[in-house]
Chains A and B, each alone.
Chain A
Amino acid sequence: MRFLPTAEQRDFTRSLDALLTASDTPSAVRAWSAGDHGPGRTLWARLADAGVFALAAPETQDGMGRLPVELALAHRELGRHAVPGPLVETAAATALLSHLADAGDPAPAKRLLPGLLTGETVVTLGVPEGGGYVLDAEGADVVLVVTGADGAAPGSGPELRLAPGHGPVHPSLDPARRLARPDPGGELLAAGPPLAGAVGCAVRWARLAAAAQAVGVAEELLRRTVAYVKQRTQFGVPIGSFQAVKHRLADTLLAVEFARPLVYGAALTLAPGDLAAAKAAAGEAAYTAARAALQLHGAIGYTEELDLSLWLRKARPLRDAWGTPARCRAEVLAAYV
């Protein structure tokens, strides 16, 4: 056993970190939140060059091979740098299209995957459990919608459609997440039992990507907060020397350190129970980190101008997207043998 990243995996992560550090992601997020997708698209193109969008597709479909561990490592970096956009949805759409092709329906993958892998096409995806909303529909070139996957009338399977448009754009708790309802109808891309299997795979990859991002968000919130409490003084000493502050951060580290291996473990097994466990724990870790970060920054933490806010506001929606902790916990038990 070697439950540690390999040298290649560490190199991949380091180069992605370097790329993102050089990209001024905070201003790309702020622009994205304001509806200006330009800087985000530029970043998106760089990520595509680094191979980030090709990690959920096999080589036979021009992907890098299905590489869930690398996907988890990459999404952790995306979370650490607060990269905006439908990143989880892209991973999910890639998994959906490529599994649909494996199941004997290659047409949608042939049509959409190439642009998606190179980053030329920004895609987003909505599934019924998203409550009818789709992330970043207005910033995406292609809006994929799955309907009827659960709770459908007996005999009717799910359908995958290309949404013809979308309704008004709603800001989320995280201004960088912009939600809209897709317009009904649109071109039917796939239907029936093979699609049901592919949607299941999509949800699993989405869980993995979202969990990894949540870990990255938690790590960055903790890092920024630790730096802050070392430098902010009150009563003549750094606030980080107070035990109440230390203990809160120790508990935050505890949450992060025990969520991270769950994410990598889930990447290795891709078992539904492991993925649900990883998503639940990572989501809770991110939220714990956000609460601690806000509290320990005091009033400055409650401001929009501090970059901390870019991660702070991500934590809660990320925790709940693609499976709330409650839903994931239920799935952990359902999968327990």
Chain B
Amino acid sequence: MDLNHTAEEDALRTEAREWLAAHVPAAPLPSLETAEGFAAHREWEAELYAGRWSAVSWPERFGGRGADIFGWLAFEEEYWAAGAPGRVSQNGISLLAPTLFDHGSEEQRARVLPDMASGAVVWAQAWSEPEAGSDLASLRSRAVRADGGWLLSGQKTWSSRAAFADRAFGIFRTEPAAPRPHQGLTYLMFDLRAPGVTVRPIGRLDGRPAFAELFLDKVFVPDEDVIGEPGQGWRIAMSTTGNERGLTLRSPGRFLAAADRLVRLWRERGEDRGASDRVADAVIGARAYQLFTYAGASRFAAGGEMGAESSLNKLFWSEYDIELHETALELLGPEGELSRSPDGWAEGYVFALAGPVYAGTNEIQRDIVAERLLGLPKGRR
């Protein structure tokens, strides 16, 4: 058992640190949930890509560095410690890219990945529907066979950043007569500016308009944009949700950096005794998450699977994020409510509140943990 990094990982870490020190914008970018912020973040993605830092774990031919999971973790620690901006390409990089690596064709990878990594094409996830949230398999949007492709109709919702994004990926019903709801679904990519697509922005709790609802009326998708075999959409989608809940969406680097900021705030505010246990818990939690991740990554590097562990991960980071931000607001006292202050705590708090809802609600994650990790019997869903 050891926690030593290899010389290669250390070299990557040092190179990243130096690059970030020279490139991270001095002032925070405007929120990526606004049109202006979205554009600024897209430029940041382009700069990251030019330095080959936008997707370090991808093969070099797609613009990555071929780093293994420990190299990626080291990069992430540096990234967040440097106070670098949030990633507008996150949905693509953490959800669609792993799906393409596992199930896409080489042609699709070559066509989609470099533009994703450079921010030229920003992707939205179009999974949820008005009548299909936790019970995603009950989705109704359909794809009907057409000459050389498919026609999409129906409605998707809660699609993060779709108001400004370029393209989307989602699952659609292609065999309405299939005996079970999980069958006869097809995973495909589509253009948010194609004829037949209407995007209606929805203000989030923080008032930001990048969230959206998508109305689809016979939107044409060529066959080349189907991922994997038609009809296999559920299996393909499920094999990659682990990425969303697991590591890539919330790497330990974020929480180490956040705990750091919290301790600084606590010290600046006179080491408030009433909050000190919670500040300590934030430090302990960040370290626990880092070490839990290292253990998981070690198993993964030794040929193991991530599996249902990603649900533990998701439960941990989503609850942790809220507690950390609540503590910061407590330390800020009356100033905590000033919602658009540059320190970002209040905004971070409002965003953290969504954690237990998205990426599969925490109730659903607890069911998965209980059934798959503890072996408890399935109950009524």
Contact = CB atoms under 8 A, between A and B. Distances in A.
Interface stretch (B28-36, B104-112, B113-121, B288-296): B288-296
B280 A4 contact: no
Nearest to A246: B370
Contacts of A336: 263, 283
A277 B284 contact: yes
Interface residues of B, number: 48
B106 to A, nearest CB: 31
Contact of B374 (A1, A249, A269): A249
Contacts of A273: 283
Contacts of B378: 241
Given A246-B366, A268-B2, A277-B283, A261 B375 contact: no
Contact of B375 (A230, A259, A262): A230
Contact of B287 (A240, A245, A254, A262): A262
Interface in B285-339: 285, 287-289, 291-292, 294-295, 297-299, 301-302, 312, 315-316
Interface stretch (B3-11, B42-50, B57-65, B92-100): B3-11
Interface residues of A, number: 47
Contacts, number: 149
A1 B9 CA distance: 10
A21 B299 CA distance: 27
A197 interface: no
Contacts of A245: 376
Contact of A333 (B6, B279, B288): B279
B377 interface: yes
Interface stretch (A76-84, A108-116, A163-171, A324-332): A324-332
Main secondary structure of the interface of B (DSSP, over half): helix
A330 B283 CA distance: 11
A229 B289 CA distance: 29
Given A2-B298, A250-B366, A257-B312, A329 B291 contact: no
B288 A1 contact: no
Contacts of B316: 254, 258
B102 interface: no
Contact of B281 (A261, A274, A329): A329
Contacts of A1: 2-6, 9, 70, 294, 297-298
Interface string B1-41: 11111100100000000000000000000000000000000
Contacts of B4: 1
A5 interface: yes
B363 interface: yes
A139 to B, nearest CB: 33
A238 interface: yes
Contacts of B289: 258
Given A3-B298, A9-B1, A336-B283, A261 B291 contact: yes
Contacts of B301: 2
B341 interface: no
A332 B277 CA distance: 10
Interface string B355-370: 0000000010111011
A243 interface: yes
Nearest to A328: B280
A243 B280 CA distance: 31
A75 B263 CA distance: 32
A249 B370 contact: yes
Contact of A262 (B5, B284, B297, B312): B284
B322 to A, nearest CB: 15
24 contacts: A1-B4, A1-B5, A6-B1, A9-B1, A226-B374, A226-B375, A230-B375, A245-B376, A246-B371, A257-B292, A258-B292, A262-B287, A262-B291, A265-B287, A265-B291, A267-B1, A268-B1, A273-B283, A280-B280, A281-B288, A329-B277, A329-B280, A329-B281, A332-B280
Q: Top 4 nearest A-B pairs by Cβ distance? A: A329-B280, A246-B370, A261-B291, A250-B369
